[in-house]
Structure 1
Amino acid sequence: MSDYKTPKNRIPYLYITFLIIVLSCWGFYIVSTDSSYVFAKHWAAILTMIFGSFIAGSSPEGSAAIAYPVFTLLLKIAPAVARNFAFAIQSIGMTSATLLILGLKIKVDWNYIKYVTFGGVFGLIFGTYYIVPLISPPLAKLFFVSLWLSFGLILWYENRHPHREVFDKIQNFVKSDMARLIFFGLIGGIISSIFGTGINIFTFCLMTIYYRINEKVAVPSSVIIMTIETILGFFVHGAVIGDFQQEAFEMWLACIPFVAFFAPLGAYVISKLPRKAIATFLYIILIVQFFGAIWVLKPSLPHLGLCLITLLAGLGTFAYLARLKRVVIKE
C-alpha cells in the first residue's frame, strides 16, 4: 500500500548548483556573442515553453508534448527542428526538475527508472536511424494523442473506485517485471525518437494501470527517465548525426532561463498535491492535447478513422492491463 509522505523541507543544493552554472554560461554566451535578439525573434517559443516546462516537471508528459504540436502545427516549424529543440530544451528543464527531485528526496521507484531507461536507450537509437525517416508527422501526432487519451480514460475509470489500492514501488519485483519494463522502455524510446518525448508517458501507463503505482511516485520517476532519454537524444543529434539546426539553437538560447525555473517549479508543486489532484491534472492535459490536435490538424475522414481505431485499441489494451490484477503478496 501507498504510505507516501510529503518530503520535508530541504535545500536542493544539486539544483541550485546546476542553475548557477547553466545561467552563468548562458549569460556569458548571450553577452559575448550579442545574441539578445533571440528573445524578440522567438517570443512565441518562450511563451510555449513557460507552460510546457511546467507541464514537463509536474506530469509524465515531457515539454515536447506541448512544444511539438504548437511548433509544427501553429508556428509552422519543421518537425525535425521541433524534435531537436525538444531534446535540447528538455536537457535543461528536465535536468533541473530531476535535480530538484533528487535534492528534495521526493520518492521514486528505482527499478522502474533503471530498467525502462535501459530499454529506452536502445529504442531511441534504433528509432532515430530506422523509424523516424518512415513516419509522417501528422499521422504520428494523431496516433500519439489518441493513444494517450485512451490511457487517460482508463485511468479515470480505475480511479473512480474510492478504495483503489496503490503502491509506492513495484511489489514482489521478479525477472519477468524486469523484462516487461525493458520492453516498454524499448517501445517508449522509439516513440521519443519521433517526438522528442514519449517514453515517460508510455511507461507511466504501465506503472499506474498494471502495477498500480501511486501517481505521486510515478510522475517524478518518469521525469528522471525522460531526463536521461532527452540528454541522449540531444547528444545523438548534436554530436553524432550533427543535424542540430540554427533555428533550434536560437530557440534553445531564448528559452533556457525560463525552463530552468518552471520545470523544477512543476516538480515541486506536484509533490505537494494529493494523488487524485495529480490524476485529474493529467486527465485535463490528455483531453486538451487530443482535441487541440484535432482542431489544428483538421484530419480527413481516413485520419479520423485512424484516431478511432487507435483509441479503441488503446482502451482495449489498457483495460486488459487493468484487469490482469497482478498478484501482490503481502509482506
Structure 2
Amino acid sequence: MSFRSMTKMWPFALWLAVFYCCWLGLVAWGDDWSTVISHWPIAMAMALGSYVAGSTPMGGGTVGFPVLVLWFDMPGSLGRNFGLAVQSIGMVSASIYILNARRPIDWGLLRPALLGALIGTPLGAWLVAPYVPDLWIKLTFAVVWCSFGIMHLIKIRELVATEGVSDRWRHLDRWIGLGVGFTGGIIASLTGVGIDMFVYATLVLLYRADLKIAIPTSVVIMAFTSVIGIAANVALSRINPSLYYIAPEVYANWLAAAPVVALGAPFGALIVNLISRTPTLLAVSMLCILQFVWTIVQEGLSGLPLLGAIASVLAVNGLFHLLYQCGNNRPILEDLQLELPGGEPPLDLADAED
C-alpha cells in the first residue's frame, strides 16, 4: 500500500483513535482493569472471531456465541447480546475500513436490506426473542450455521470462481432486499448473527455475485444490524428489566473483547484480499458443522428433537438450493420470447407491441 493510499485511510484511523480513547476512559472510570484481565479467554477467542468476521460472511458472534454458550455453558440470550455488542465494534470497524478502502458493495440489494433490518431487528427483540426458550435459541444458531457450512462445502469451487454479479434479479432488488433484511433481522434478534448469512447467500446463490462483492456487503449489513440490535435490547431492558434482561457478564466480556475486535475484523477484511478465500471458508464451514454436533451432544438431543434439528438443517439447505436454482433460471423476459414456427427468430416483445 502506497503512502498516498495510507493517507486516504484517515477516517478509519480517526475511528480507531476515538474508540480506543473511549474504551480506555470506560475502563479507567470504572476501575475495570481486573475485569479485562480476568476475561482474557473471550478476548483470545474473539481474536479468531474478529478475523472470521472481517474475512468471511460470518459475524464475530459465530465464534463468540458457541464459546460462551457451549464452552462456558452460559445462556443463549447472553451469547446473543454479547455477539451484538462485540460486533457493534468489530463489524463497524471492518465496515469503516471497507468503505474507506472503497471495496465493492452491492448497494442495490443492501439499501432495502438495511431498511428491512431496521424494522425486523427491534421488532424481533421486542416480540420474539424474550419468548423463545433458551434451547431453541441454541438450536436456531446451530441449525442456521450448520446449514451455511454445508452449503459452502458443496458449492465452494463455484462460489470462489464466480466473477462480477448478475443483473437478472435487479428489478426485484427492493422487495428481495427488504424481505431478506426483515427476516434476517428477526434471526439476528434471536442469535446475534444471521442476517449477514442471508444477504450473502442471496448474493452468491441468486445473484451469482463475486465473493469480493458479497462478503463486504454482508459485513456492512451485520454491522448495522448489530448496532440496531444491541441498542434495541438496551432500551428494552430499561423499560422492562425482568423480561429483557441483559446479564452483567455481557459488558464484562465486551470490555475484554472490544479492543481486540476493533483491529481484528478490519485485519481480516485486509488479509482476505491478499490470500485465497478457499482455506478460510472451508475451515469456518467445518467449524459451523462441528458446533452443530457439539450442541446436539451437549444438550443430549435424541428421538424427535434430534430428528427435528436434522430436518431443519435439510430445510434450510433446501432453501439455499432453491435460491441456487432460481439463480440458474433464464431471465423472465427470455421466457416470454417464444420461438416462432419455421425456424424464425424469437419474437421481440417491443416489435409485437408495434
Please give the range of the TM-score, normalised by the shorter of the 2 chains: 0.7 to 0.9
Q: Secondary structure at the match of 1:10?
A: helix
Q: Aligned in 2, Cα 1:9/1:130: closer, same or farther, shift over 3 Å? A: farther
- Code of the aligned partner of 1:200: D
Q: Are 1:307 and 2:309 counterparts?
A: yes
Q: Aligned in 2, Cα 1:213/1:282: closer, same or farther, shift over 3 Å? A: farther
Q: Secondary structure at the match of 2:285?
A: helix
- Code of the aligned partner of 1:96: S
TM-score scaled to structure 1, two decimals?
0.88
- Aligned partner of 2:60 in structure 1 is 63
Q: Secondary structure at the match of 2:235?
A: helix
- Aligned partner of 1:227 in structure 2 is 223
User: Are the aligned partners of 2:148 and 2:197 in contact in 1 as well (CA < 8 Å)?
Assistant: no
Q: Aligned in 2, Cα 1:10/1:170: closer, same or farther, shift over 3 Å? A: farther
State how far apart, in whole Å, the 1-side matches of 2:279 and 2:82 are: 30
Correspondences of 1:134-149 after superposition (within 5 Å): 134-149=131-146
Which has the higher Rg, Structure 1 or Structure 2?
A: 2
- Aligned partner of 2:205 in structure 1 is 209
Query: Deviation digits for residues 5-38 of structure 1, max 9, x if unmatched?
Result: x999832222211111111121123223321011
- Code of the aligned partner of 1:32: W
- Residue ranges of structure 1 left out of the alignment (5+ in a row): 1-5
Q: Secondary structure at the match of 2:5?
A: coil
TM-score scaled to structure 2, two decimals?
0.82
Q: Are 1:10 and 2:5 counterparts?
A: yes
- Aligned partner of 1:3 in structure 2 is none
- Aligned partner of 1:218 in structure 2 is 214
State how far apart, in whole Å, the 2-side matches of 1:49 and 1:240 are: 27
- How far residue 196 of structure 1 moved from its aligned partner, in angstroms, is 1.2
Q: Aligned in 2, Cα 1:211/1:275: closer, same or farther, shift over 3 Å? A: farther
- Residue ranges of structure 2 left out of the alignment (5+ in a row): 239-244, 335-354
- How far residue 317 of structure 1 moved from its aligned partner, in angstroms, is 2.0
User: Are the aligned partners of 2:144 and 2:194 in contact in 1 as well (CA < 8 Å)?
Assistant: no
- Code of the aligned partner of 2:196: N
- Code of the aligned partner of 1:315: N
Q: Are 1:22 and 2:19 counterparts?
A: yes
Identity %: 27
State how far apart, in whole Å, the 2-side matches of 1:144 and 1:206 are: 19
- Code of the aligned partner of 2:218: S
Higher RCO (C-alpha 8 Å, min separation 6): 1
Q: Are 1:31 and 2:34 counterparts?
A: no
Aligned length: 324
- Aligned partner of 1:263 in structure 2 is 265
- Aligned partner of 2:339 in structure 1 is none
- Code of the aligned partner of 1:77: M
Equivalent residue in structure 1 for 2:320, among 315, 318, 321: 318
- How far residue 109 of structure 1 moved from its aligned partner, in angstroms, is 1.0
